[in-house]
Amino acid sequence: MKRREFLQLSSLAGLTLLAPGTMWAMEKTHGRTLVLVELKGGNDGLNTVVPFEDPTYKRLRPNLALSKSEVIRLDKGPYLNATLNPLRPLWDEGHLAVVEGVGYPNPNRSHFRSIEIWETASDSNEYLHDGWLSSALPDGVGPLPGAMIAGAGEDGPLRGVSALTVESPQQLFRHGQRLRRVDVKTENPALAHVIQTQNDLVGSIASIQERVGPSKSPNGDFTKSSLGRGLQMTAQMLGAGVPLTVVKVQLSGFDTHAQQPKKHSRLLTDVGQNLAAFAKSLQTYGRWNEVVVATYSEFGRRVKENAGRGTDHGTAAPLFVLGGTVKGGVFGETPSLTDLDAGDLKFTTDYRRVYATLSKRWLGGESLGHQPLSFL
């Protein structure tokens, strides 16, 4: 083997998927998918799940408080920003859970540090390297695969898990055409691992192409944003039978320090429309009961609006969990708008309880030392 070939192989060492045989085995033993949707920048929870009847909300947000025409009331449930109306059918079907007041003790308001806490499931003063999924995924099924799709940013929760970054199936197939199986025997363990990695990758791409190649892109009202493209691609791959265990997608722009109303409305419109389109596509494919979707963001925003018609970095915020087997409803206690911590909401639900639920009751892993919630 020439040095150039070795270096080419070495560059692929961290780019792994399961070999086709293991993919088949995982289909038989697991068959569930978790889709993580990162709302990057710090989503304003109070204008997402809206405390519309609380007079303190309007008093502290004279310019940002939503009017009656800008909210919807879910049946026997909370008020949502009206841009999320596409999610109403999922609520009516019992497939949408709203988890209130999600945060953690001693919150950090730095984008970089807070998302690191969320993605590693650490305490605020604890520094961990691997993402929370590295310990949440169960043993005994082999190295479960993950994918970061359509501009999902850093690997974050997938760090330490075999993962592949995919902009589109076509891009993946183009890369696959440049790879060949390597039939080289070596006594060098490191080189043997690299060769096995390439051969596994070649086999996995071929298996994915065999499934996805003939399949059509799902019909649905997906947008052209990174979130829309990512969820549309995920639906296509799942509909074609590609056994993805964890997928991460992302929508940026939620750091709304100034002129928030139009920005936030546009972003939540994108979220509602694409989540609804994703659910509809998977229902059409008959795979809705095999998927759970969970949103998350590094923190919420402060309760009081700022002078720029925006909101600054805060703490706790709600998140959504949806899927065919999700038990719909509101989980966790709504934070008080009057009992604040230096102007910020006090969290009522530790974010690791959400992870514990997804890990233990969906992925078949451990509870990560926290009590699961009952939305699954």
Q: pLDDT-based confidence at 182, cuts 50/70/90?
A: confident
Which pLDDT value is given to residue 136? 79
In contact, 362 and 344? CB cutoff 8 Å: no
Query: Over the stretch 183-237, which tens digit does the pLDDT of each residue have?
Result: 888 888 888 877 776 777 676 667 677 767 665 667 779 999 999 988 998 898 8
Which pLDDT value is given to residue 300? 98
Question: pTM of the full predicted structure?
Answer: 0.86
Angle of CA points 289, 158, 206, to nearest 5°: 70
Q: pLDDT-based confidence at 139, cuts 50/70/90?
A: low
Query: Mean pLDDT across the stretch 13-29?
Result: 36
CATH class of 3-363: alpha beta
